[in-house]
Amino acid sequence: MAVLVGDIKKRGKLYSMIFELIKPGLLESVIIKAQHNCYSDNNRYNGRFIPIVHEYLLILRKEVSLQYSALLTNRREADIRDMPGATWRDIVADAMEEFDCATGLERIYTKLDGYKRTHGQQHWKEKVRQTLQTYIWLSLAL
């Protein structure tokens, strides 16, 4: 099976389809070919615009004939402190980024209080202190 994919630039950001694609089979080869009749060929750009002039032809071998991989995504906004996979390091680091100067523990506790990760945990303040001590010590050692 052959799949032709290319890259897209939107508002100066590159979206590489070769990295985003779930390949439905084992990758046998990648052929890079010149791209023709592009929308960007008809436009003049100022600045440091580098046009995309190639696309990829992925040659795949399917192991099972009627089986396809699929990736379903949805976009949502959520606070990292309410996400189930967030670590204490993530949560504390996120809270600390909002302070523009040195701060005390009470301000950090106030910032973290009320989030799902702190609910039902009697010793969450101790966990915050432990996280701060661990990662401040590590950053000083580096």
The answer to whether residue 5 scores a pLDDT higher than 60 is yes
Give the residue from 95, 89, 96 showing the smallest Cα distance to 127: 89
pLDDT digits (tens, 9 = 90+) for 20-76: 676 677 888 888 888 777 766 777 777 777 777 788 888 888 776 666 667 778 887
How many whole angstroms separate alpha carbon 94 and alpha carbon 111?
Answer: 10
Q: Can you give the residue ranges of every domain in the chain?
A: 2-61, 80-141
| 95: number of Cβ within 10 Å | 20
- pTM for this predicted structure: 0.43
Among residues 32, 31, 48, 52, the alpha carbon closest in space to that of 40 is found at 52
pLDDT tens for 102-124 read: 888 898 898 888 788 888 788 99
Amino acid at 129: R
In this structure, of 6-15, 23-32, 99-108, 133-142, the range with the lowest mean pLDDT score is 133-142
Q: Any long-range contacts for 83-88 (C-beta under 8 Å, 24+ apart)?
A: 86/117, 88/117, 88/127, 88/128, 88/130, 88/131
